[in-house]
A and B are shown apart, each in its own frame.
Chain A
Amino acid sequence: MIRLQNVTKIYPSQTRPALSDVSVEIGKGEFVFLVGQSGSGKSTFLRLILKEERATSGQVHVAGKDLARLSSWKVPALRRQVGTVFQDFRLLNNKTVQENVAFALEVIGRPRTQIAKVVPEVLDLVGLKGKEGRKPDELSGGEQQRVAIARAFVNRPMILIADEPTGNLDPTTSVGIMRLLDRINRTGTTVVMATHDDDIVDQMRKRVIELEGGKLVRDQSRGVYGYTH
């Protein structure tokens, strides 16, 4: 599903590579934690998958496509296969919960009848039934993140990228979000989650990929946050 081969990324004004010779393969339906300190290259890793950045060298394959050869007009099609969730939710405050989720379908031209059908379904899935008409600022942080997940998942992407989705949430709320991501993973969606949250990583016991200074230092199935030899 996602394959990086000897990928190096050097940003124009920097000498030290953000990612250096990283090779990793993530299969369909996997749940992967991406851990590492700030500046270790996690965000660059995710940005490469979304083709927001190009690799300086090496190959990035996502959903069967070589991103270096993907022409720019095909990038939107790629991004429809990849849902994204962020630490800061990125919701539209002037739209209701339901409108926020529908927005993702409207801008890619889905018919109204389909939107009317799938939006309530996905809101039910993320546990926001009954809150469709609320505005984001009337919701708690956890609920806002659920809206964001609903928006990322409503188009049924093959891959869900989550960049520190629990970074702004308290531990109890985080657990709820993790259950939700786990449930989405069980539908066959590949989930890649960058995080600092050691409790969560330790509890979930999923595959852990650790970056340090742009290098891949650990790739462990059923791993924990800290280094264990």
Chain B
Amino acid sequence: MRATFILSEIGIGLRRNLTMTLAMIITTGVSLAFLGAAVLFNQQVNVSKDFWYDKVEVSVFLCGEVSNAPSCAGGAVTSTQRDQIRADLEAMPQVQRIYYESKQQAFKRFKQQFKNSAIVDNVTADQMPESFRVKLTDPEQFPIIASAFIGRDGIEQVQDQKALLERFFKVLKWVQWFAFGLALMMLVVSVILIVNTIRVAAFSRRRETGIMKLVGASSFSIQLPFLLEGAISGFLGALLASGVFVLLKGVLVDHVLAPNFPITRFITWGDVWLSSGAVFLIGVALAAIASFLTLLKYLRV
């Protein structure tokens, strides 16, 4: 069949069912947007995870005047204790790098972190703990450090930042699964809608298809316009979804999130194009397959 003829038939088909077609495009678009957003969110979580895990340290807090841990019974850490702890830490093969944070530095950092909060006014430098910040060659090796230093005189507490982050990322994981689940349900809805739209289209054109059959058109040329209708709707839906991604990245990430959270890394345009591509593939393939299966059932040739 000639391309122009097929195109005009598709045009007639899409126009005849305009509301259904629009519903099909929008639903496909929204569900693909959900799917892609879930993928992007997943990517964002991975990016931040890498970024933060790279930065995690083990904090060895030293005893201050007000510490009440048993190992701090002897009062604040003495300078001999402090030097000994540093030497012992440096001797551990798991330790990559150490730096010391004094009370003053801790206070400065605290003020920085809570600069918008009234809590800063109630805290003095003396109340801040001094600590060693230890960067491990492998963040998984925290237990070795912990067993070697917890409970030692002059050390109030040994804290693994990774454990804190893990709790946070565990919550994010649940959010991710929820988003994926939602996206899948939306996809099911859009497949059902595509099936119905194509079925209605096949039914409303049964006169044409009947005549085509009669005059000896091949099944392929009878089914092709319907298949392409499905695929075009899938394509337009994917276009819609990609528009949403571009807005998410261009507006939300680049202009709202990134300036406010300078310490975090965000998804790149590369990630956006990748999920757009995936969404196009899934959208077009899903719509074409759904149409094809519908035609097998409702447009027997």
Q: Which residues of A contact B (CB under 8 A)?
A: 50, 72-73, 76-81, 83-84, 90, 92, 103-104, 106-109, 111-112, 151-152, 155
B268 in the interface, Cβ–Cβ < 8 Å? no
In the bound assembly, the distance between CA atoms of A217 and B156 in angstroms comes to 111
Is B215 a contact partner of A79 (Cβ separation < 8 A)? yes
Question: Residues of B contacting A107 with CB < 8 Å?
Answer: 1, 5, 211-212, 215, 217, 221-222
Is B207 a contact partner of A90 (Cβ separation < 8 A)? yes
Question: Residues of B contacting A106 with CB < 8 Å?
Answer: 1-2, 5
Question: Residues of B contacting A92 with CB < 8 Å?
Answer: 207-208, 211
In the bound assembly, the distance between CA atoms of A104 and B215 in angstroms comes to 6
B171 in the interface, Cβ–Cβ < 8 Å? no
- How many residues on the B side are at the interface (Cβ–Cβ under 8 A)? 17
A-B contact pairs, 24 of them (CB 8 A): A50-B214, A72-B219, A76-B216, A76-B218, A76-B219, A77-B216, A79-B213, A79-B214, A83-B215, A90-B210, A92-B208, A103-B215, A106-B1, A106-B2, A107-B1, A107-B212, A107-B221, A108-B1, A108-B215, A108-B217, A109-B221, A112-B2, A155-B215, A155-B216
Q: Which residues of B contact A (CB under 8 A)?
A: 1-2, 5, 207-208, 210-219, 221-222
The one of A79, A90, A111 that contacts B216, using a Cβ cutoff of 8 Å: A79
In the bound assembly, the distance between CA atoms of A71 and B210 in angstroms comes to 20
Is B208 a contact partner of A151 (Cβ separation < 8 A)? no
The 6 closest A-B CB pairs, nearest first, are A80-B216, A79-B216, A107-B217, A104-B215, A76-B216, A107-B212
Using A76-B218, A155-B216 as known contacts, list a sample of 10 further A-B pairs with CB atoms less than 8 Å apart, ordered by residue number in A: A73-B219, A78-B216, A81-B216, A106-B1, A107-B211, A107-B212, A111-B2, A151-B211, A151-B215, A155-B215
In the bound assembly, the distance between CA atoms of A191 and B2 in angstroms comes to 31
The one of B1, B214, B222 that contacts A109, using a Cβ cutoff of 8 Å: B1
Tell me, rounded to whole Å, the shortest Cβ–Cβ distance linking A162 to chain B: 13
Question: Residues of A contacting B218 with CB < 8 Å?
Answer: 73, 76, 108
Question: Residues of A contacting B212 with CB < 8 Å?
Answer: 107
Question: Residues of B contacting A108 with CB < 8 Å?
Answer: 1, 215-218, 221
Question: Residues of B contacting A90 with CB < 8 Å?
Answer: 207, 210-211, 214
Closest B residue, CB atoms, query A83: B215
Tell me, rounded to whole Å, the shortest Cβ–Cβ distance linking B244 to chain A: 37
Question: Residues of A contacting B1 with CB < 8 Å?
Answer: 106-109
In the bound assembly, the distance between CA atoms of A207 and B274 in angstroms comes to 71
Tell me, rounded to whole Å, the shortest Cβ–Cβ distance linking A160 to chain B: 12
Is B219 a contact partner of A109 (Cβ separation < 8 A)? no
